[in-house]
Amino acid sequence: GQQVMQIPQYQHVQEGEDFTTYCNSSTTLSNIQWYKQRPGGHPVFLIQLVKSGEVKKQKRLTFQFGEAKKNSSLHITATQTTDVGTYFCAPRGSSNTGKLIFGQGTTLQVKP
Amino acid sequence: DAGVIQSPRHEVTEMGQEVTLRCKPISGHNSLFWYRQTMMRGLELLIYFNNNVPIDDSGMPEDRFSAKMPNASFSTLKIQPSEPRDSAVYFCASSFSGSRGSARYGYTFGSGTRLTVV
Protein backbone atom coordinates (compact mmCIF):
# COMPACT_ATOMS: atom_id res chain seq x y z
CA GLY A 1 0.00 0.00 0.00
CA GLN A 2 0.88 3.65 -0.20
CA GLN A 3 3.55 4.61 2.38
CA VAL A 4 3.89 8.26 3.27
CA MET A 5 5.69 10.04 6.09
CA GLN A 6 4.64 13.51 7.16
CA ILE A 7 7.01 15.56 9.32
CA PRO A 8 7.11 17.09 11.82
CA GLN A 9 4.24 15.65 13.80
CA TYR A 10 3.92 18.82 15.90
CA GLN A 11 5.21 22.34 15.51
CA HIS A 12 4.94 25.29 17.89
CA VAL A 13 5.82 28.69 16.47
CA GLN A 14 5.61 32.29 17.56
CA GLU A 15 3.13 34.34 15.58
CA GLY A 16 4.96 35.85 12.63
CA GLU A 17 7.42 32.98 12.22
CA ASP A 18 7.39 30.75 9.17
CA PHE A 19 6.26 27.11 9.17
CA THR A 20 6.89 24.18 6.85
CA THR A 21 5.54 20.65 6.80
CA TYR A 22 6.89 17.90 4.57
CA CYS A 23 5.30 14.84 3.03
CA ASN A 24 7.60 12.07 1.78
CA SER A 25 6.66 8.98 -0.16
CA SER A 26 8.60 5.82 -0.89
CA THR A 27 6.99 5.57 -4.33
CA THR A 28 6.24 7.94 -7.20
CA LEU A 29 2.96 9.74 -6.79
CA SER A 30 0.29 10.53 -9.34
CA ASN A 31 -0.76 13.64 -7.48
CA ILE A 32 -1.08 14.96 -3.96
CA GLN A 33 -3.71 16.93 -2.11
CA TRP A 34 -3.40 19.03 1.03
CA TYR A 35 -6.06 19.55 3.68
CA LYS A 36 -6.39 21.64 6.83
CA GLN A 37 -8.38 20.60 9.88
CA ARG A 38 -9.08 23.16 12.59
CA PRO A 39 -9.39 21.90 16.18
CA GLY A 40 -12.79 20.26 16.55
CA GLY A 41 -13.48 20.66 12.85
CA HIS A 42 -13.36 18.60 9.72
CA PRO A 43 -10.68 18.41 6.99
CA VAL A 44 -10.98 21.13 4.38
CA PHE A 45 -9.44 20.79 0.94
CA LEU A 46 -6.68 23.31 0.22
CA ILE A 47 -5.06 22.32 -3.07
CA GLN A 48 -4.06 19.56 -5.47
CA LEU A 49 -0.62 19.27 -7.09
CA VAL A 50 -0.19 17.17 -10.21
CA LYS A 51 2.89 18.18 -12.18
CA SER A 52 6.51 17.45 -11.37
CA GLY A 53 8.13 20.49 -9.72
CA GLU A 54 4.80 22.29 -9.47
CA VAL A 55 4.57 25.30 -7.14
CA LYS A 56 1.26 26.89 -6.18
CA LYS A 57 0.55 29.79 -3.86
CA GLN A 58 -2.50 30.76 -1.86
CA LYS A 59 -1.78 34.05 -0.10
CA ARG A 60 0.77 33.15 2.61
CA LEU A 61 0.71 29.42 1.75
CA THR A 62 3.13 27.92 -0.77
CA PHE A 63 2.75 24.33 -1.95
CA GLN A 64 5.47 22.42 -3.79
CA PHE A 65 5.58 19.06 -5.53
CA GLY A 66 9.03 17.52 -5.89
CA GLU A 67 10.70 16.96 -9.23
CA ALA A 68 10.59 13.21 -8.72
CA LYS A 69 6.97 13.38 -7.51
CA LYS A 70 7.89 11.59 -4.32
CA ASN A 71 7.63 14.48 -1.89
CA SER A 72 5.72 17.65 -1.26
CA SER A 73 5.80 20.56 1.14
CA LEU A 74 3.53 23.24 2.51
CA HIS A 75 5.14 26.48 3.67
CA ILE A 76 3.33 29.21 5.58
CA THR A 77 4.95 32.64 5.68
CA ALA A 78 4.46 34.82 8.76
CA THR A 79 2.06 32.57 10.62
CA GLN A 80 -1.07 33.93 12.24
CA THR A 81 -3.23 32.46 15.00
CA THR A 82 -5.80 31.59 12.35
CA ASP A 83 -3.30 29.11 10.89
CA VAL A 84 -3.67 26.85 13.93
CA GLY A 85 -4.76 23.34 13.02
CA THR A 86 -3.57 20.06 11.56
CA TYR A 87 -2.31 19.95 7.99
CA PHE A 88 -2.65 16.68 6.13
CA CYS A 89 -1.12 15.57 2.90
CA ALA A 90 -3.11 13.02 0.92
CA PRO A 91 -1.05 11.47 -1.84
CA ARG A 92 -2.36 9.30 -4.61
CA GLY A 93 -0.13 6.61 -6.04
CA SER A 94 0.39 5.85 -9.69
CA SER A 95 -2.22 3.09 -9.55
CA ASN A 96 -4.73 5.90 -9.89
CA THR A 97 -7.32 4.45 -7.60
CA GLY A 98 -10.18 6.59 -6.44
CA LYS A 99 -9.36 6.44 -2.76
CA LEU A 100 -7.29 8.96 -0.86
CA ILE A 101 -5.07 7.87 2.02
CA PHE A 102 -4.17 10.63 4.45
CA GLY A 103 -0.81 11.18 6.07
CA GLN A 104 -0.45 11.41 9.84
CA GLY A 105 -0.71 15.18 9.75
CA THR A 106 1.33 18.03 11.22
CA THR A 107 -0.32 19.91 14.06
CA LEU A 108 0.59 23.59 14.16
CA GLN A 109 0.28 25.71 17.28
CA VAL A 110 0.83 29.47 16.99
CA LYS A 111 1.64 31.51 20.08
CA PRO A 112 0.35 35.10 19.88
CA ASP B 1 -25.25 23.90 -1.60
CA ALA B 2 -25.44 22.86 2.05
CA GLY B 3 -22.35 20.69 1.73
CA VAL B 4 -22.05 17.14 2.98
CA ILE B 5 -24.59 16.57 5.72
CA GLN B 6 -24.03 14.03 8.45
CA SER B 7 -26.31 12.97 11.26
CA PRO B 8 -26.31 12.72 14.14
CA ARG B 9 -23.53 15.12 15.22
CA HIS B 10 -23.06 13.28 18.48
CA GLU B 11 -24.04 9.78 19.51
CA VAL B 12 -23.59 8.15 22.89
CA THR B 13 -24.60 4.54 23.11
CA GLU B 14 -24.09 1.52 25.28
CA MET B 15 -21.86 -1.36 24.30
CA GLY B 16 -23.76 -3.94 22.28
CA GLN B 17 -26.24 -1.50 20.78
CA GLU B 18 -26.64 -0.90 17.07
CA VAL B 19 -25.47 2.46 15.74
CA THR B 20 -26.40 3.96 12.37
CA LEU B 21 -24.60 6.97 10.97
CA ARG B 22 -26.07 8.86 8.03
CA CYS B 23 -24.64 10.91 5.23
CA LYS B 24 -26.04 13.03 2.41
CA PRO B 25 -23.34 13.85 -0.14
CA ILE B 26 -23.16 16.94 -2.31
CA SER B 27 -25.52 16.74 -5.25
CA GLY B 28 -23.62 15.80 -8.41
CA HIS B 29 -20.75 14.12 -6.60
CA ASN B 30 -20.39 10.50 -7.64
CA SER B 31 -17.92 9.25 -5.03
CA LEU B 32 -18.58 8.87 -1.33
CA PHE B 33 -16.11 7.97 1.40
CA TRP B 34 -16.40 6.97 5.04
CA TYR B 35 -13.45 7.79 7.29
CA ARG B 36 -12.81 7.22 10.98
CA GLN B 37 -10.54 9.53 13.00
CA THR B 38 -8.90 8.74 16.33
CA MET B 39 -5.86 10.16 18.08
CA MET B 40 -4.04 6.86 17.85
CA ARG B 41 -4.77 5.91 14.24
CA GLY B 42 -5.43 9.25 12.57
CA LEU B 43 -7.76 9.39 9.56
CA GLU B 44 -8.56 5.89 8.32
CA LEU B 45 -10.51 5.18 5.15
CA LEU B 46 -13.18 2.60 5.91
CA ILE B 47 -14.99 2.23 2.59
CA TYR B 48 -15.71 4.15 -0.57
CA PHE B 49 -18.42 4.09 -3.18
CA ASN B 50 -18.33 5.18 -6.79
CA ASN B 51 -21.68 5.69 -8.51
CA ASN B 52 -23.37 4.07 -5.50
CA VAL B 53 -21.32 0.87 -5.85
CA PRO B 54 -18.89 -0.16 -3.08
CA ILE B 55 -15.43 -0.16 -4.63
CA ASP B 56 -13.09 -0.83 -1.73
CA ASP B 57 -14.11 -1.90 1.77
CA SER B 58 -10.69 -3.15 2.83
CA GLY B 59 -10.59 -0.58 5.60
CA MET B 60 -13.72 -1.83 7.34
CA PRO B 61 -12.46 -3.12 10.69
CA GLU B 62 -14.58 -6.24 10.94
CA ASP B 63 -17.96 -7.76 10.18
CA ARG B 64 -19.62 -5.58 12.78
CA PHE B 65 -19.29 -2.70 10.34
CA SER B 66 -21.43 -2.39 7.24
CA ALA B 67 -22.14 0.43 4.81
CA LYS B 68 -24.78 0.98 2.18
CA MET B 69 -25.52 3.53 -0.49
CA PRO B 70 -29.03 2.85 -1.78
CA ASN B 71 -29.03 5.96 -3.99
CA ALA B 72 -26.86 8.87 -5.01
CA SER B 73 -28.05 11.09 -2.19
CA PHE B 74 -27.81 8.87 0.86
CA SER B 75 -25.42 6.51 2.62
CA THR B 76 -25.35 4.78 5.98
CA LEU B 77 -22.61 3.28 8.11
CA LYS B 78 -23.86 0.76 10.64
CA ILE B 79 -22.07 -0.79 13.59
CA GLN B 80 -23.73 -3.81 15.16
CA PRO B 81 -22.95 -4.57 17.93
CA SER B 82 -20.97 -1.51 18.98
CA GLU B 83 -17.93 -1.72 21.25
CA PRO B 84 -16.05 0.92 23.28
CA ARG B 85 -13.09 0.74 20.86
CA ASP B 86 -15.40 2.00 18.11
CA SER B 87 -15.48 5.40 19.82
CA ALA B 88 -14.19 7.93 17.30
CA VAL B 89 -15.24 10.71 14.97
CA TYR B 90 -16.70 9.31 11.76
CA PHE B 91 -16.50 11.50 8.70
CA CYS B 92 -18.32 11.17 5.42
CA ALA B 93 -16.80 12.87 2.36
CA SER B 94 -17.85 13.20 -1.24
CA SER B 95 -16.18 14.19 -4.48
CA PHE B 96 -16.53 14.07 -8.22
CA SER B 97 -14.41 11.35 -9.80
CA GLY B 98 -13.48 10.66 -13.40
CA SER B 99 -14.56 7.66 -15.42
CA ARG B 100 -11.89 5.44 -13.85
CA GLY B 101 -12.71 6.55 -10.36
CA SER B 102 -9.77 8.91 -9.97
CA ALA B 103 -10.65 11.96 -7.94
CA ARG B 104 -9.95 15.05 -10.02
CA TYR B 105 -11.05 17.43 -7.31
CA GLY B 106 -10.74 17.66 -3.57
CA TYR B 107 -12.96 15.89 -1.15
CA THR B 108 -15.67 17.76 0.72
CA PHE B 109 -16.05 16.48 4.25
CA GLY B 110 -19.10 16.60 6.46
CA SER B 111 -18.88 17.88 10.01
CA GLY B 112 -18.60 14.35 11.35
CA THR B 113 -20.37 12.22 13.92
CA ARG B 114 -18.68 11.92 17.28
CA LEU B 115 -19.48 8.42 18.53
CA THR B 116 -18.97 7.41 22.13
CA VAL B 117 -19.63 3.82 23.14
CA VAL B 118 -19.76 3.26 26.89
Q: Output the DSSP codes for B101-113.
A: S-B-S--EE---E
Asked if B109 and A92 come within 8 Å (Cβ–Cβ), the reply is no
Residue from B53, B33, B8 nearest B109 by CA: B33
- Tell me, yes or no, if A88 comes closer than 8 A to chain B by beta carbon: yes
pLDDT in tens, chain B (118 residues): 679 999 999 999 999 999 999 999 999 999 999 999 999 999 999 999 999 999 989 999 889 999 999 999 999 999 999 999 999 999 999 998 765 555 567 999 999 999 999 9
Asked if A42 and B105 come within 8 Å (Cβ–Cβ), the reply is no
Give residue B81's identity as a one-letter amino acid code: P
- Tell me, yes or no, if A96 comes closer than 8 A to chain B by beta carbon: yes
Beta bridge partners, B49, equal B32, B54
Give residue B113's identity as a one-letter amino acid code: T
Asked if A102 and B31 come within 8 Å (Cβ–Cβ), the reply is no
Spatial distance between the Cα atoms of A85 and B24, rounded to a whole number of angstroms: 26
Spatial distance between the Cα atoms of B39 and B67, rounded to a whole number of angstroms: 23
